[in-house]
A = this chain, B = another copy of it.
Amino acid sequence: MSIGKPSEEELDRLGITNGEYLSAASQRALSWRRLDNSWFGVFEVFDLQGDLAYEEGIVRRDPSAIIRHDDRYFVWYTKSLGPTDGFAGDINNDKVFPWDRSDIWFATSEDGWVWQEQGPAICRGEPGRYDDRSVFTVEVMQHEDRFYLVYQTVRSPYTIRVKNEIGIAHAASPYGPWHKSTEPILKPADNGIWRGDEDNRFQVERKGDFDSHKVHDPCILPYRGQFFLYYKGEQMGEEITFGGRQIRHGVAIADHPLGPYEKSPYNPVSNSGHEICVWPHRDGIASLITTDGPEKNTIQWAPDGINFEIMSVIPGAPHAIGLNRTLADDTDPWTALSWGLTHQYMNDDYQYIRRFQGHRVTSHVAKGEQSL
């Protein structure tokens, strides 16, 4: 402990009975810099109406952020048809994941509850292109009257060892037409080495960087005059640790929305999490960390967009959140989380988009007369 002798007031706030006898747990509690509850809160999830309600036989998942234009909300998402076959059959004709053989569609809504599907925005590329197999897990950025969609891409064949990449498209209107990048704007690190020829992602000679296998879940934020592309990395030879899957987040930075993007030497910027969920907050970047790793189910904040610290440890969070970009607010970290979209698994084959609502919890819930 390098924090010096705790004051009586600190001990009282931490509920430590006797400052002369600190258990290991009390020593950890003393190392927490803050007890401020402004970042603590909870989520609820609700069904949508209209075209985004659950539909048999159709996958709709990984909603983008929500933007507002022409008096309505816009969202983009992954859409595919039919069940998942997995990798055991003929991968040239099967659908190996729910997000395989997908295109990116969009929908609009006046109230955020009832949605009208408008049609495809980004379709898979021609055979031989880097995006010829699937385009999916899209995010949207509106910047200086242009619109940018950034998304994952896979080139055929979709093997287990295939390396996902990231593409981008831009348009003058959220209705398109969209101009796709001719090459990926981000690729996995190339310093991992597979062991043998079996199509197995756990057999490696060398793992390489945290993002040596896949770059996933891209999200671009304009920040300090540059563009921060946050993404999830998956590593060749990924392991299960004491916190579950080895999933980390990185950031790549560019001077222009279309790139070139350079990966930060400080990567990874999170050692935990799954889908990227980031938003600007008080001159820094906030990040919701879910699902995987020792710091899962935390909300973090980085004053510089790089060095994230844990601000709260929450009971859980909806997955694959698409934030409502109209809500950002510097005063309360939960304003940006007050509502948006998420996806939910009906089963392994089919996922559908739902609405989440979140709110801060600063005092005890009334249930049971202040005694939850």
Contact = CB atoms under 8 A, between A and B. Distances in A.
A357 B72 CA distance: 47
Interface string A332-350: 0000000000000000100
B271 A26 contact: yes
A268 B15 contact: yes
A268 B294 CA distance: 23
Number of copies: 2
A164 to B, nearest CB: 11
A308 B28 CA distance: 10
Interface stretch (A74-82, A175-183, A218-226, A363-371): A363-371
B15 A266 contact: no
A246 to B, nearest CB: 6
B267 A23 contact: yes
A15 B244 contact: no
Interface stretch (A131-139, A143-151, A311-319, A322-330): A311-319
B241 A369 contact: no
A316 B313 contact: no
Given A202-B370, A294-B313, A368-B84, A244 B40 contact: yes
Given A17-B268, A297-B297, A35 B371 contact: no
Contacts of A372: 245
Interface string A272-309: 10000000000000000001011111000010001111
A14 B208 CA distance: 11
A44 to B, nearest CB: 15
Contact of A160 (B36, B243, B314, B369): B369
Interface of A: 2, 12, 14-18, 20-26, 28-29, 32, 34-37, 39-40, 84, 86-88, 96-97, 160, 189, 200-202, 207, 209-210, 233, 235, 238-246, 248, 250, 263-272, 291, 293-297, 302, 306-316, 348, 361-364, 367-372
